[in-house]
Structure 1
Amino acid sequence: MTVRVGVVIAAMNSVEFLDQALGSLATQTVPVDEIVVVDDCSDDDTAAHARRWTSVLPLRVIGTGRRTGIWGGRRAGIAELTTDLVMQLDADDMFAPHHVEVMREAYTRRPGLVSPRPLTWTGRGPWQQADYPKARFPLPGDQLAQLLCTNYVLVGAMYPRKLYEEIGGYRRTRYGEDWDLWLRLVAAGAMVSKPDEATYVYRVRAASYSSLFDKDVAQTEVLTRFLSACDSPVYRRIAKLALLQRIGPAFTEGLQARPVTAAQELILAEAGLSPERVRAAHADPELGLVVRVGTGDGADGGEHIAVLGSAPERLVLAGPVCAGGRVEADLIEDETLRRDRSSLRDILR
């Protein structure tokens, strides 16, 4: 039986771009079965603009009633779909003409969460192959571990509506609503795959929705939510390492202070961190000892963060604290990140 595909487009003040998005749907080599455009209380004629396409596309236009942001728009739109699969399209992006065909083929080969490969467009000139450093992910191995470290699933993904509903769908977030959803889909058993060709056209512009948010702050919210619902020591450890890198010294707030032992001082010294410069050390139940080490004179000097595991004691992460508190890891030697062929050291660096 052929699976049915529905597209959801959350739109707010999108008149400038919406014709191109919907036009790309009208020219697909394999048409979709349903399209829902969700007007998130626009100040312009987004809804009326979308309705002009109802004679050539299987399209419905709905409104949110109150401004909710992308998470609420997508949630409302997906609730209107009756299709087996949900495919996402941002209102300022486009599909290449064979996008739906390529995505369906990828899903047939490996049902689950299908992430498209991106092209980029500035609004002028030809589409470009995206310079996308995360394109090689997922690697063979633990996809959830990799996804906790970095979001390698593109916004225009496709996934089963039934599984989406089982995990509770989109939920309120300031930013990173997609990553929050992908983590729960993969944790529930969805496997990530990607088609061979790049077919999702991502518009590059300075005033995009994502430019309104500090990504580290938003990703901190997503990781914290994941931790609140996760019982697995392995994934809690990986999520905490990813969280530590985003918030740096703030990670130790609320943790119990612990002294650094002579054995741990030796480990720090071997890593080039002076034990006499230890500013604070705190114990975390999954990570071990999180140590803040000064690298300069005075309170305003530089700082490194090191994570010392136990049984046996060893250095599992070390790196300088950069602007905004983020930790740029120089070293990662953690067994939970090297438990299969998908070593994640390079992701966290």
Structure 2
Amino acid sequence: MTVRVGVVVPAMNSVEFLDQALGSIATQTVPLDEVVVVDDYSDDNTAAHACRWESVLPLRVIRTERRTGIWGGRRAGIAELTTDLVMQLDADDMFAPHHVEVMRDAYIRCPGLVSPRPLTWTGQGPWQQADYSKARFPLPGDQLAQLLCTNYVLVGAMYPRKLYEEISGYRRTRFGEDWDLWLRLVAAGATVSKPAEASYVYRVRATSYSSLFDKDVAQTEVLTRFLDECDSPVHRRVAKLAILQRTGPAFTEGLPARPVTAAHERLLADAGLRPDRVRAAYADPELGLVVRVGADDGEHIAVLGGEPERIVLAGPVLAGGRIEVDLIEDETLRRDRSSLRDILP
């Protein structure tokens, strides 16, 4: 299979890092066919700095007319590509020299959405193998369900431009623009795969773009948007479980109240919760009964549903509303009797 590969590098005030990013592209064992740097209305001379590489790389530099954010920069850059495959590189990250080669080979083996395996770098010393718990995903099973629970596709992914265009590409988000795209790519039929070797160098720094947002709030927005567009009962349920885990008691706002029956009380007791401390219960059309239960350490939330009815999810509410899940019985998410914490961050 012969495929042409292009890379998009969104950059905003990136003079400090851009040479390292573009230098890593120039040293690939398999050269890229196109490179597009998008200067997202920088205050510094990012565009001029990138243009210095035009004699070394098959490079085009474009500049947005206003600040659009990463989603807009990537969208503008991909629109300039003519290649079969799109590869991503953030301006403060780098490629290991074999990155394009291992990513291309992984795509040839399994066409779809290829997520690189990450290395991390603090800017000093050697690159380190990243130790991310989500790096083992996707597991055998429902890749979309797993992706709804945690974004296990790294930002430096590669995917077919044709499918990207079919789902209308990047769209406006405050944060999580890549996760929003991955969800729609996989929902449209893309299979996620990963190369055997780590090759994407992720720079670890305190002032990264992602540090500007409350991740639970931003991720809930992405999940809610997916939920609004999803017709699959299975994936609607998984999306709601993922939202519930991030929002806790706030999830019940607007849901109709329902009584707790003697059968419900027995289920709660079996899960180690006190039926006499039930504060309220609410009905959700896909999850079942969402119950708020008082406890010595604050409050727990349990979801009762399924056929036969059982505890689907339970856990204590942490500061800020997030649930620390300690029980999961949802058949879509379970694997070898693992708990939801194996999937959710």
TM-score bucket of the superposed structures, by smaller chain:
over 0.9
The alpha carbon displacement at 1:265 in A equals 1.1
Equivalent residues in 2 for 1:169-318, closer than 5 Å? 169-296=169-296, 302-318=298-314
Whether contact under 8 Å (1:103, 1:158) holds in the other structure is: yes
Taking the aligned partners of 2:73 and 2:110, their CA distance within structure 1 comes to 28
Whether contact under 8 Å (2:90, 2:156) holds in the other structure is: yes
Taking the aligned partners of 1:36 and 1:280, their CA distance within structure 2 comes to 54
Whether contact under 8 Å (2:93, 2:202) holds in the other structure is: yes
1:347 aligns with: 343
Taking the aligned partners of 1:335 and 1:310, their CA distance within structure 2 comes to 9
Residue identity opposite 1:40 in structure 2: D
The alpha carbon displacement at 1:30 in A equals 0.6
Taking the aligned partners of 2:322 and 2:76, their CA distance within structure 1 comes to 35
1:12 aligns with: 12
Taking the aligned partners of 2:68 and 2:139, their CA distance within structure 1 comes to 35
The alpha carbon displacement at 1:74 in A equals 0.2
1:41 aligns with: 41
Taking the aligned partners of 2:272 and 2:106, their CA distance within structure 1 comes to 48
1:328 aligns with: 324
The alpha carbon displacement at 1:312 in A equals 1.8
Taking the aligned partners of 2:80 and 2:229, their CA distance within structure 1 comes to 28
The alpha carbon displacement at 1:344 in A equals 6.5
The alpha carbon displacement at 1:278 in A equals 1.1
Considering only aligned residues, what root-mean-square deviation do their CA atoms show, in Å? 1.3
Residue identity opposite 1:197 in structure 2: E
Check 1:5–1:342 CA distance in 2 against 1; reply closer, same or farther (3 A cut).
farther
The alpha carbon displacement at 1:63 in A equals 1.2
Taking the aligned partners of 2:271 and 2:160, their CA distance within structure 1 comes to 47
Whether contact under 8 Å (2:248, 2:301) holds in the other structure is: yes
Task: Name stretches of at least 5 consecutive residues in structure 2 with no aligned partner.
Answer: none
Residue identity opposite 2:75 in structure 1: R
Check 1:14–1:70 CA distance in 2 against 1; reply closer, same or farther (3 A cut).
same
SS in 1 for 2:343: helix
Residue identity opposite 2:7 in structure 1: V
1:31 aligns with: 31
The alpha carbon displacement at 1:279 in A equals 1.1
Equivalent residues in 2 for 1:70-109, closer than 5 Å? 70-109=70-109
Whether contact under 8 Å (1:146, 1:344) holds in the other structure is: no
Residue identity opposite 1:304 in structure 2: H
TM-score (norm 2): 0.97
Residue identity opposite 2:309 in structure 1: E
Q: Structure 1, residues 126-148: CA drift from partner, whole Å, max 9, x if none?
A: 11111111111111111111101
The alpha carbon displacement at 1:342 in A equals 9.7
Taking the aligned partners of 2:138 and 2:96, their CA distance within structure 1 comes to 23
How many residues get paired?
344
Residue identity opposite 1:12 in structure 2: M
Task: Name stretches of at least 5 consecutive residues in structure 1 with no aligned partner.
Answer: none
The alpha carbon displacement at 1:337 in A equals 2.2
Check 1:108–1:344 CA distance in 2 against 1; reply closer, same or farther (3 A cut).
farther
Taking the aligned partners of 2:337 and 2:197, their CA distance within structure 1 comes to 23
The alpha carbon displacement at 1:66 in A equals 0.8
Q: Structure 1, residues 86-118: CA drift from partner, whole Å, max 9, x if none?
A: 000000000011110111111111110000001
The alpha carbon displacement at 1:62 in A equals 0.6
Whether contact under 8 Å (1:12, 1:41) holds in the other structure is: yes
TM-score (norm 1): 0.96
Task: State the percentage of identical aligned residues.
Answer: 85
Greater shift in the superposed pair: 328-337 or 103-112: 328-337
Check 1:221–1:325 CA distance in 2 against 1; reply closer, same or farther (3 A cut).
same
SS in 2 for 1:325: coil
Taking the aligned partners of 1:343 and 1:276, their CA distance within structure 2 comes to 29
The alpha carbon displacement at 1:310 in A equals 4.4
